[in-house]
């Protein structure tokens, strides 16, 4: 019976995330947030100096990645020294309650966080967003490309710096876990870029956040159920992905400006003109 309680944790967790997402979306205004839309449209960001913006993107994201690396490096020592007191009991309990057919399902879902899967998703999103953005079309490919490079370099260095053997089924397991890190970073950045260009509303933000949370939970569950990493390494992977994501979102917002909430394509560009005509200017 306990085996199926562990199996039920996956749909139960996704259902909880979905419930929170629906509740948050319902709390958001059904109509667009006009105050935010007006603010964004009054100050359209059309920068012709893409070189300077690219330098700002590199500077902000680089500083954020360096800070994220340092935080995870500082957390690494106590994890190496004391982490097994938590990890080993959870590992044994998971091993004793694993169901073979459910493990086969999780092996398929686990591939979502693999390196080439996430890199492929980031590349496809960069190409699509580079075509669909109305302004500064270079920004989504640049942000996603920088995130890919930064994550690869910083994470590889972390794995070499903090050498922590993984659980017996995967003794080469790493701190922090790469799959959860990549899911949070890349799906989070893609979701943000989609939200700010095609929605900008609070309801859209809730839905985008819920989708990223569901993907992150599913990946973390798969890695733990299959004993691909220690539990603490998985949690640290989620935290690490969030730490990396923050600077890239901040850089995009600084360069592209605030999202025009609820604005349809082109609305942010014509709204100031329409208001001035209505005012008789």
| Number of CB atoms found within 10 A of residue 11's CB | 9
- Half-sphere exposure (Cβ direction) of 188: Cα atoms closer than 13 Å: 25
- What contacts 213, CB < 8 A, 6 or more positions away? 17, 21
Composition of the chain by helix, strand, coil, percent to 5: 80, 0, 20
Please report the pLDDT score of residue 101 as a whole number. 93
Tell me, what's the pLDDT at 92? 94
**Domain ranges in the chain?**
2-278
Please tell me the total number of residues recorded for the chain in this structure: 281
- Is residue 79 within 8 A of residue 166, CB to CB? The reply is no
- How many angstroms from the chain centroid is the CA of residue 91? 26
Residues with pLDDT less than 70, the chain: 1, 28-48, 260-281
pLDDT tens-place string over residues 126-154: 999 999 888 888 999 999 999 999 999 99
The torsion region of residue 229 among left (phi > 0), alpha (psi -120 to 50) and beta comes to beta
């Amino acid at each position: 019976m306990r085996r199926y309680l562990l199996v039920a944790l996956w749909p139960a967790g996704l259902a909880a995330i979905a419930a929170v997402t629906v509740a948050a979306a319902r709390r958001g205004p059904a109509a667009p947030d006009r105050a935010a839309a007006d603010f964004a449209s009054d100050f359209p960001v059309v920068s012709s100096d893409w070189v300077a913006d690219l330098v700002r993107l590199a500077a902000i994201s680089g500083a954020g990645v360096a800070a994220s690396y340092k935080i995870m490096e500082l957390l690494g020592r106590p994890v190496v020294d004391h982490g097994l007191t938590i990890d080993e009991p959870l590992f044994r309990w998971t091993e004793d309650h694993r169901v073979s057919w459910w493990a086969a399902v999780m092996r398929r879902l686990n591939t979502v966080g693999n390196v080439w899967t996430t890199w492929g998703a980031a590349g496809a999103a960069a190409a699509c967003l580079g075509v669909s953005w109305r302004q500064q079309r270079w920004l989504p490919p640049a942000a996603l490309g920088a995130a890919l490079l930064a994550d690869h370099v910083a994470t590889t260095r972390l794995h070499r710096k903090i050498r922590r053997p993984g659980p017996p089924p995967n003794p080469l397991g790493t701190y922090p876990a790469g799959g959860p890190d990549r899911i949070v970073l890349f799906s989070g950045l893609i979701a943000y870029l989609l939200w700010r260009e095609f929605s900008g509303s609070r309801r859209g933000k809730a839905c985008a956040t819920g989708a990223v949370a569901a993907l992150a939970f599913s990946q973390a569950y798969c890695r733990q159920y299959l004993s691909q990493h220690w539990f603490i390494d998985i949690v640290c992977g989620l935290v690490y992905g969030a730490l990396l994501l923050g600077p890239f979102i901040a850089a995009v917002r600084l360069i592209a400006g605030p999202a025009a909430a609820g604005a349809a394509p082109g609305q942010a560009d014509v709204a100031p003109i329409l208001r001035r005509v209505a005012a008789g200017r």
